[in-house]
Amino acid sequence: MTSFDYIVVGAGSAGAVVAARLSESADNRVLLIEAGGSHRHMNVQVPAAFSKQFKSKLDWAYFTEPEQYLGGRRIFMPRAKMLGGCSSMNAMIYIRGNKADYDTWAKDGATGWSYGDVLPLFRNSENNSRGADDYHGDSGPLYVQDLRSPNDLSLKLVEAMAASGLEANDDFNGSDQLGTGLYQVTQRRGMRWTTADGYIDPARKRSNFSVLTNTHVLRVRIQNGVAVGVEAERDGQAGFIRATKEVIVSAGAINTPQLLMLSGIGPADHLAEHGIAVIVDNPNVGDHCMDHPAYMINAETTAKGTLHEAQSPKWLLAYLTRRTGLLTSNVGEAGAFFHTRSGDAAPDVQYICAPAYFYDHGFRTYPTPAVTIGCSLIGAQSTGHVRLRSDDPKAKPAITANYLKEPEDMQAMITAVERAREILASAPLRALVGTEIHPGRDTSSRQALDKIIRREVEHTYHPACTARIGTESTGVVDPQLRVHGVQRLRVADASVFPAIPHGNTNAPTVMAGEKAAIMIAAAS
């Protein structure tokens, strides 16, 4: 077929949801297009292997431009290129963000996106192993479960964080986000559970649902201000596929603004530089990029049974036969949310703690067992942008993150590092933690920490807000996710967030897919 009612571009955490939900009506002919291929790879399915996907064929493997506030470093930015998108590549932590995130969105003009509005969507998407309550669902497509085999060192980390003054919290997505505990994860019986597993695979049984993988969308075709379909290439052959109702772009916070600009929607002067005819002059496309910079503190440990042993035959056998043991770990098993500054409704720092050495995106190893406290700055204020490098749809876009541009971001990060050091030195961990590996004991002053953080900081893989909800002068889409200036074109992914949520972005992106599908269906 070369004509469908709806075409969804991108089969990731939101796109899979939008396409599958629209196909629940037999009246809708839905096409889901994905640039990558299958998610059925061992490094996808085995939770502890997630970082082995980086820089593989499953990864777009982006790098930022030289970062001005990080000494000119280019930062590696993995983005999944497969069914399920980053739900197939992430560390599986299920966090919705803070209630204040959504209420602030609504207050600032994103009508229909308050916490009260979106909570039912979170519940509808969720199949939580703890059962249903006021905050959780137990019959949705997305499995959310407690860790199958939580590590003893992760339990010690929670104990130490509680000893440092953080209250115990067994549900960061419940009545209060603050405190410390183990994370729930998007897994089912010890295996990763993606939006491809939960949404795409069941939808494939429907005759009105089609999926094209390994297909690169070159641009959205717009005629007389109306999106009429997409131009796409597969196996070296380019063609046009018509959408009789709508095109929904769900390509993610990097690829979505790139595709919009290639289609003539973006800053007019920038498009003109690349010889692209301007259909809608909107400087907000690709702008306001937000992410969560992260600094990894590593220390040696004498604890037994850490992930240092995960690749031994013993644990491989445990995983293959019982789906238990170290390989079921999402690595970042334990965590906390807290404030480093007053006046913010939501916490500005999240700890993601691992019973393992984790540094440089997992590419570096360490000869002995180690423990990690990742300091994720979920209240970061700095913003960057995404721009075209050329008019070639297959050229990687130019990404500028501007991590730690704002002084308050650095001050919060330094405070987070200092508090993490106190946790590692606290009574529950004192006998288990040895030499600090990163940043190292020669960095005791805040000035020294500033320098080494800029030299070593990475991020939490959460780019967002590059096609945000706003007015025609402040955003790219309206609260119904319709692209300003073009009919029958919407965006549904993390790029539409007016501001980045305070926490991991996968669950909010799934929620955005659920909300988009409802709004699209209501408009048909």
Provide the annotated active-site residues.
462
Distances (CA, A) of 217 to 128, 229, 240, 373: 35, 10, 10, 39
Residue type, 228: V
Residue type, 13: S
Cβ-proximal residues to 223 (8 Å cutoff; 6+ apart), any chain: none
Nearest to 257 by CA among 384, 382, 378: 384
Strand partners, 512: none
Residue 200, helix vs strand vs coil: helix
Q: Which two tokens stand for residue 407?
A: 């002084």
Taking the alpha carbons of 402, 403, 409, 410 in that order, is the dihedral positive or negative?
Answer: negative
| Contact of 105 with 145, CB cutoff 8 Å | no
| Contact of 219 with 259, CB cutoff 8 Å | yes
Q: How far apart are CA 471 and CA 492, in angstroms?
A: 17
Residue 47, helix vs strand vs coil: helix
Q: How far apart are CA 33 and CA 17, in angstroms?
A: 13
| Residue in the structure block whose two tokens are 């039912």 | 120
Residue 288, helix vs strand vs coil: coil
- Could you tell me what percentage of the chain is helix, strand and coil, using 3-state DSSP and rounding each to the nearest 5? 30, 25, 45
Nearest to 211 by CA among 35, 48, 437: 35
For β-strands 385-387 and 398-400, DSSP reports them as antiparallel
Cβ-proximal residues to 289 (8 Å cutoff; 6+ apart), any chain: 253, 383, 384, 385, 386, 399, 400, 401, 402, 463, 464, 465, 466
Residue type, 394: K
